[in-house]
Amino acid sequence: MKNTTIIKLMLLILIALTLSSCGKSKPVLYIFNWSDYIDPVLIKEFEVANNCKIKYSTYDSNENMITKIKSARESFDVVFPSGDHVSILKEAGLLESLNRTKLTNYRNLNSGLLSKAQVFDNANEYSVPYFWGLTGLMYNKRYVPAELVAKQSWSIVGDPFFKAKNKVTMLDDAREVIGAALVYNGFDLNDTSEAALATAKKTLDAWDVNITQFDSDSYKNEVPDGTTWLAQSYNGDVLQQMAENKELGFFLPSEGSSLWMDNVVILKSSQNKELAYKFLDFLLEVNTAKRNAEYTQYATPNKAAHELLSDDIKNNALIYPSQEYLAKCYMIMALGNDVKKIDALYEAIKMN
């Protein structure tokens, strides 16, 4: 064999060995998050800094997330449930009790918001606040007349202007849909009394003539392209679209709305807890949290990161509404067995 051939062969073997050992030794972290809810550059940075691979999957509702994590086929390390679902996962014994000594950046969190999170995780033992937000109405200015929007009311969902046009959608989220009708009628969003739910049903039956679908993802593309004109939507998702399209508008209804906090948790079944802790701590790091808030356009519970944000973001009332507006909003709470009443009403509306 010629010397050059031998050298080439040795090089190939070396490359193959390097590649196979990389593949084998790189730990993998399985992350399951809401769609459009992290700056993708951060994922790459974490992979490089920790010489690992992130397998990243997304969901569009807490209900889908729970179904997948309970199915034996899917296994995840880090998940992002909303507050009421932190309680549900905790009750089901699925969450890791967090060792805060591994979270060196935990001190960056806003202590006032940590106290608020105790309504669903009483000692902040299982969850770390990720972002908080509100639900409102997104619209396309090209099709929805300004006079209709001027009232800034949930009542626009049932407005006769939309009749037979098939242009209105609501979230595929029982708590948000029933919640909007409850708040519109002056009830607490967590009220499951017969009177409250009967009133909400009446309103939703009236709105339903306009509603074409219950969907939590499509509106992000369909309001911009005119397939949908008005959509119940999560504030940050809309602001991400509004940055690129001046024809889009969004308002928080004057009657009030839902207020929610999404959180990071590690599943008890996680196969790579050390790496999961590193990922949580990375998200809590001040510059990571600042960049993530800028990308997602959601309100950060990271006090140190919030201080670094531009005034444009800090003063944006669609991200950080006034205390006066927040007083009209309701945190979505876990309802135990009573949630079945909400689910039954939601299914009945969807079947109409």
Residue 96 or residue 176: which is nearer to ligand SPD going by CB?
Answer: 176
Q: In angstroms, give the least distance from the CB of 320 to ligand SPD.
A: 16
Residue 237 near ligand SPD by CB under 6 A: yes
Nearer to ligand SPD, 158 or 179 (CB): 179
Residue 176 interacts with ligand SPD (CB under 6 A)? yes
Looking at the Cβ atoms of 266 and 331, the one nearer to ligand SPD is 331
Q: Cβ 134 to ligand SPD, closest distance in Å?
A: 9
Binding string, residues 283-322; x marks residues near ligand SPD by CB under 6 A:
----------------------------------------
Residues from 52 through 91 that contact ligand SPD (CB under 6 A): 82
Q: Which lies closer to ligand SPD via its Cβ, residue 69 or residue 275?
A: 69
Q: Which H, E and C letters describe the chain, residue by residue? A: CCHHHHHHHHHHHHHHHHHHHHHHHCCEEEEEEECCCCCHHHHHHHHHHHCCEEEEEEECCHHHHHHHHHCCCCCCCEECCEHHHHHHHHHCCCECCCCHHHCCCHHHECHHHHHHHCCCCCCCCCCEEEEEEEEEEEEECCCCCHHHHHCCCHHHHHCHHHCCCCCEEECCCHHHHHHHHHHHCCCCCCCCCHHHHHHHHHHHHHHCCCEEEECCCCHHHHCCCCCCCEEEEEHHHHHHHHCCCCCEEEECCCCCCEEEEEEEEEECCCCCHHHHHHHHHHHHCHHHHHHHHHHHCCECCEHHHHHHCCHHHHCCCCCCCCHHHHCCCEECCCCHHHHHHHHHHHHHHHHC
Q: Which is nearer to ligand SPD, 240 or 272 (CB)?
A: 240
Q: Does 215 bind ligand SPD (CB under 6 A)?
A: no
| Residue 137 Cβ vs ligand SPD, minimum distance, rounded to whole Å | 15
34 binds ligand SPD (CB under 6 A): yes
Residue 234 interacts with ligand SPD (CB under 6 A): yes or no: yes
Q: Is 260 in the site for ligand SPD (CB under 6 A)?
A: yes
Between residues 35 and 193, which has the closer beta carbon with respect to ligand SPD?
Answer: 35
| Residue 250 interacting with ligand SPD (CB under 6 A) | no
Q: Which residue sits closest to ligand SPD, CB atoms considered? A: 34
Would you say 37 or 346 has its CB closer to ligand SPD? 37
Residue numbers of the site for ligand SPD (CB under 6 A)? 34-37, 82, 173, 175-176, 234, 237, 260, 262, 332
